[in-house]
Amino acid sequence: MPAALDAMRRELEDAANHLGKPHDLRFKPMFGGLMAYFDEKPCAWLTIGELALKLAPVDQPALLALDGATRLIAKPGAAPSRHYIIVPAAVRRDTAQFAGWLAKSAAHAVSGTRARSRR
């Protein structure tokens, strides 16, 4: 695994540990990177050099307001993601702050699943 990808994986694991849920996080190789699942729901996409969290529309503006945050562009020429927001390195290195964003991502994933199952 490339060193940058491994470092971001450890940052995400530290955030899960901070939430007291280290065993609820797992990873699966996807598109040359890793997809992270929290409580069995996709919550983050790790690519070489970038980690993006899947967030509810209501939570996106606050993260996008931070320096270095932007919408993930999965491949050159693709439209920016409507769901995945790149988390700046400074936020990822602040475990407590990053854990808060991971909790928002996990809450969105769970609420999205409930909404789909009611249809």
Q: What is the pLDDT of residues 39-62, one digit of tens each?
A: 889 999 999 889 999 999 999 999
Q: Which pLDDT band holds residue 113 (cuts at 50, 70, 90)? A: very low
Is 7 within the bounds of a domain? Answer: yes
Query: Could you tell me if residue 103 is inside a domain?
Result: no
Q: At what angle do helices 95-117 and 3-18 cross, to 10 degrees?
A: 80
Domain count, the chain: 1
Q: Is 80 helix (H, G, I), strand (E, B) or coil?
A: coil
Q: pLDDT value at position 112? A: 62
Indicate whether 100 belongs to any domain: no
**Residue 34 belongs to a domain:** yes
Kindly state the tokens that stand for 102.
């991971």
Residue 106 is assigned to a structural domain of this protein: no
Q: Find the domain containing 61 and state its range.
A: 3-94
Residue 19: inside a domain: yes
Q: pTM to 2 decimals?
A: 0.88
Asked whether the predicted pLDDT for residue 116 surpasses 60, the reply is: no
